Each structure stands twice: as C-alpha cells, then as structure tokens.
Amino acid sequence: MRWRIRAIVRSQLAPGDEIRAIARDEIGRDYWVLTDHELLQVKGGVVAQRMALADAVVSVTMQPPAGITIRLSSRRAGNTQMLTSFRRPNAVTRRLAELFGEPS
C-alpha cells in the first residue's frame, strides 16, 4: 500500500521535493507523508490536506499509553489546522520532533 501512497503524493510534489517518511494513523487509518517541505494527509486515495513545514507551528504530545498526538497550525491567514494520533513513535513523529524540537 505504501507504494500506492508514494505514487499519489509524488505526482503532486514540487520539483526537488522528496518523500522522507510515511506513517499510518491507527485511529483514522489515514496516511501521513512527510516531505522535505510539506506534511500531507492522504485519505481515501487522495491528498486531503497539506501544509508547508515553513508555515507550520507544530506540537508533538506524548501521552502514554494513549500514544502520540501531533497538532499543526499554519502561520498563514486562514490558520489551517491538522491533527493526528499514533499509538507508537514512527518515522513521521520522530522527524517532526527533530525539525520542531519536540519530544519523540
């Protein structure tokens, strides 16, 4: 399935942007894709939401045993918000924690 997610996202990336991590939200069953420049939510085979990392304010919250919650909001007008939860740390949560100085 990840190859399908890669194909969906790759066709929509800006030139030079690359996929760095993919993780599946165990609760919503959506895929979250982290690239060099964006975080994208793939739902039902289409990109449902996307946010530029340069515009993002990110909060990564660890709540054992419930898991990890990631909240993103945009600094741009409209204040787009994204929210996801994972049971365990994964490539997406670790990379976001590295980028935004949050616990992984």
Range of the domain at 11: 2-100
Residue 104 has a pLDDT of: 47
What is the pTM (predicted TM-score) of this model? 0.86
The domain total for the chain is 1
Which residues, at least 6 apart from 46, have a Cβ–Cβ distance to it below 8 Å?
A: 8
Which residues, at least 6 apart from 63, have a Cβ–Cβ distance to it below 8 Å?
A: 69
In this structure, what CATH number is given to the domain that contains residue 11? 2.30.29
Q: Residue 45 is encoded by which pair of tokens? A: 């085979």
pLDDT one-digit tens code per residue, 9-38: 999 999 999 999 999 998 889 999 999 999
